[in-house]
Structure 1
């Protein structure tokens, strides 16, 4: 299956929804996470960290694609949050995104959960 080109009308733009849930925050990117859109996710994650939110669940159920730039955003955020004593969990991985983590070995450094509810339950309580 060919991916649509960046300027193609068939390319699904990345949107990012951020919502507080209990002791953490859920960041839900939706669409294609690539070198054209990674800044949008990075800005949202940076805002969470700047706000002192170090318990982050990234709900990947809406991601249709993730390239190496998107993966670097996830990895960088994980390192920054863990350095501050926090945690980053991933949930709802679609097979195409899970494959990127598998191929690169990045899946071994993340806590990955089948569902958002499982990821939220894994966050430490206040």
Structure 2
């Protein structure tokens, strides 16, 4: 069974950035990183992660169609056990409040602090084992 981190972002360069930042972990197969380009795509993938242990969802807030904040309660319905961290370019207090009230465990602002994110993933990996 593989351990999965799902990244939801409509920006095409996000996948390359995350794969570069976590290349050693991915190569060592510590976890698998999957990418969804929209909230709808993410919801479909979350519903189909039975064979994998989904330990963390990272989602952009501002996306066309359904926003990350609109997706959040739907994620919590499908997988209430999976922590969600929202990502935004605008880390204002109102956005953070909405994310936390919606069920997110945190909010990261762009540019992402990958050291902090790596610590969060390491914590989730320890809990999954």
Distance 2:44 2:73 in 1: 14
TM-score for the superposition, normalised by structure 1: 0.50
- Conserved in 1, the CA contact under 8 Å of 2:99 and 2:107? no
Partner residue in 2 for 1:110:
104
Write the mapping of 1:1-40 to structure 2, written as runs, cut at 5 A: 20=2, 24-31=3-10, 37-40=38-41
How far apart in 1 are the matches of 2:45 and 2:93? Answer: 22
Q: Which has a greater percent of strand? A: 1
Gaps in structure 2 of 5+ consecutive residues: 12-37, 109-115
Aligned length: 92
Structure that is richer in helix per residue: 2
| RMSD (Å), alpha carbons | 3.5
1:1-126 aligned within 5 A: 20=2, 24-31=3-10, 37-48=38-49, 50-51=50-51, 53-55=53-55, 57-60=56-59, 63=60, 65-66=62-63, 69-70=66-67, 71-82=69-80, 86-90=81-85, 93-96=87-90, 98=91, 102=95, 105-108=98-101, 109-112=103-106, 114=108, 115-123=116-124, 124-126=127-129
Where does structure 1 lack aligned partners over 5 or more consecutive residues? 1-19
Please give the TM-score of this superposition, normalised by the length of structure 2. 0.50
Asked if structure 2 preserves the Cα contact closer than 8 Å seen for 1:27 and 1:59, the reply is yes
Distance 1:72 1:121, change over 3 A: same
Partner Cα separation in structure 1 for residue 78 and residue 43 of structure 2: 12
Are residues 80 and 105 of structure 1, via their aligned partners in 2, closer, same or farther at CA, if it must alter by over 3 Å? Answer: same
